[in-house]
Structure 1
């Protein structure tokens, strides 16, 4: 399953929708042909659709757009580069979280 279709399915779940036509009615530039092509992997969400759905499901917009870029990659090399960017950003976030956690950790003096 491709990212666009996965995001649509999450959107349907969050909205309590059971049919694709309910999703289609939420987006003016969306139609049943587009939906069919997305399901087949021949088409992708637009950036605006991706952002709107990411917001609705509580997903970070930047992460969603990066995943969409990976999906839209024209070559394996391009997809790998986008994947590497996502990994580096994730690693930087983890490192930052650890540093922030260590900065707030109690010292031995606090227990004296």
Structure 2
């Protein structure tokens, strides 16, 4: 399943929808033909649709747009580059969190008790 359709399915679940036509009615530029092509993987969400759905499901907009860019890649090389960007951003975020935690003394360490 492609990212666009996965996001649509998450959107449906979040909204409590059971049918694709309910999603279609939420977006002006959506129609049943577009939905069918997205299911087949021959079409993708637009950036605006992606952002709106990401907001609705509680997904980070930047992450959603990066995944959409990977999906829209015209070549394997382009897709790999986008994937590498996502990995680098993720690694940088983790490093930043760990650095901030160590500065504030919030690094998780086991609490030791001494017994006499």
Q: Which runs of 5+ in 1 are unaligned?
A: 96-112
Please report the TM-score for the alignment, with normalisation by the length of structure 2: 0.82
* Secondary structure of 2:74's aligned partner: coil
> How far apart, CA to CA, are the structure 1 residues paired with 2:46 and 2:36?
15
Q: Which runs of 5+ in 2 are unaligned?
A: 96-116
Q: After TM superposition, what 4+ stretches of structure 1 lie above 2 angstroms from structure 2? A: none
Deviation at 1:86, TM superposition (A): 0.1
Structure in which a larger fraction of residues adopt helix? 1
1:3-33 Cα offsets, whole Å, 9 max, x none, are 0000000000000000000000000000000
Deviation at 1:88, TM superposition (A): 0.1
Please report the TM-score for the alignment, with normalisation by the length of structure 1: 0.85
1:90 maps onto 2:90 in alignment: yes
